[in-house]
Amino acid sequence: MKNFILPLFLITLGAIPTTGSFDHDGRDVDGAVDDVALFETVITDRAGLDRLVTGPMTAPGTTTFDLPSGLPTGTYTARVRVADRSGNWSEFSDPASFTIDRTPPSRPTGCRVK
Ligand SMILES: [Ca+2]
C-alpha cells in the first residue's frame, strides 16, 4: 500500500489552477442596486492572446468560473467585467496573475533496492 503515498503527494504540490472567482455586490457605480446578469473573464497569455470565459451571474456575492481547459505552461492574467440586464458593461477588474506548470520534473537519481 505504500505505492499510493507518492501520487497523493504530487497532487498536493503540483495542482494546476482550474477555477477562478470574483466578488460583486450587485450595485451600479452610483451605488444603486441593479442586479448584474453576466460576467466575462479575459485570460491573457504572455503573447497577448486572449481566451474568454463567459457565464451567467445568479446572485450578488462571489462567482466562481472554470479556467479554459488545457492551458499550456505559462504565466497568465485574468480580468473580469460584469453586465447588467440591459447589457451595460462594467470596467474590467484589476488583473490577477497565475501560472500553469505542465513541465515535468527532472529524472530522479539514486534509485536503489535493499
Ligand atoms: Ca445598471
Each residue of 70-89: pLDDT tens digit? 999 999 999 999 999 999 99
Give the model's pLDDT for residue 35: 83
In this prediction the pTM is 0.79
**For residue 114, what is its C-alpha cell?**
535493499
Task: Tell how far the Cα of 78 is from the centroid of ligand 1, in angstroms.
Answer: 23
Cα angle 18-23-24, degrees, rounded to a multiple of 5: 140
Task: Tell how far the Cα of 111 is from the centroid of ligand 1, in angstroms.
Answer: 63
Report domain 17-99's class. mainly beta
* Stretch 13-39: mean pLDDT: 89
Residue type, 98: F
Task: Tell how far the Cα of 50 is from the centroid of ligand 1, in angstroms.
Answer: 26
**Per-domain boundaries in the chain:** 17-99
Phi, psi of 11 (to 5 degrees): -65, -40
